[in-house]
Structure 1
Amino acid sequence: MDLVGQLIALLGALVFLTAGIGIFRYRDVYGRMSAVATASGVGIVLVTIGVLLVNFEPGNIVKGIVAIILQLMTASIASIIIARSAINSDHPFSDDTDTEEMKPTQG
């Protein structure tokens, strides 16, 4: 069980590494926010599950499940708020971003 937990935690760390690379590679705040939101949602869940498998105790499992649920709820809300704040402050999109879907519909 220890080896499986360590591999899952390592996979979570790789998600964070990928997100860190994405922060430098994406050109605007929206892409960077997407990378961070993915890392906080998927990466923390994987690391937490890995730690729970290494320290498999009933008290730790309850704490881990609560931590995962709270992380998933707050990460999604935070990423939406950050993106909305960037849009409301007229932060520019990069040139290669397709913004057609965000234009208001005529009707």
Structure 2
Amino acid sequence: MMGIIGQILVGLGAGIFLLAGVGLFRFKDPYSRISAVATASGVGLVLVTAGVLLINPEPGNIVKGIIAIILQLITASIASIVIARSTLISGYPFSENTDTEELEDFG
């Protein structure tokens, strides 16, 4: 039973990565693209790793999986913030539908 749940989680994680890939082509500005990739890398990796741990639940794998999940969640969020900030500082324009009212203080 745990193997089936693990395979479902791996499939869901892969599906999230696929949707993020589609988002890279569909979103109009880098700010939206960064959001899609950072969210997918966090959620997708957690689902895939948890699924693999359910398929093969050995103590060594569990420790490595938890460390991988924690490091991915920390680094993905920091990297996306740094990329979005550098894009904003460089003056790259937002798409016309983006609400930038909160950013007027930074301009």
Q: When the two structures are superposed, what TM-score results if normalisation uses the length of structure 1?
A: 0.95
Equivalent positions of 1:1-107 (< 5 A) are 1-104=2-105
Superposition misfits of 4+ residues, deviation over 6 angstroms: none
Q: Distance in 1 between matches of 2:36 and 2:24?
A: 7
Q: Distance in 2 between matches of 1:19 and 1:9?
A: 15
Amino acid at match of 2:52: V
1:21 to partner: Cα distance: 1.1
Q: Distance in 2 between matches of 1:97 and 1:90?
A: 15
Amino acid at match of 1:47: V
Q: Which runs of 5+ in 2 are unaligned?
A: none
Amino acid at match of 1:53: L
Query: Cα deviation per residue 1:21-50 (whole Å; 9 max; x = unaligned)?
Result: 111110000000000001111000100000
1:101 to partner: Cα distance: 1.3
Q: Distance in 1 between matches of 2:57 and 2:42?
A: 22
Amino acid at match of 1:77: I
Q: Which runs of 5+ in 1 are unaligned?
A: none
Q: Distance in 1 between matches of 2:56 and 2:79?
A: 30
* RMSD over aligned Cα atoms: 1.0
Q: When the two structures are superposed, what TM-score results if normalisation uses the length of structure 2?
A: 0.95
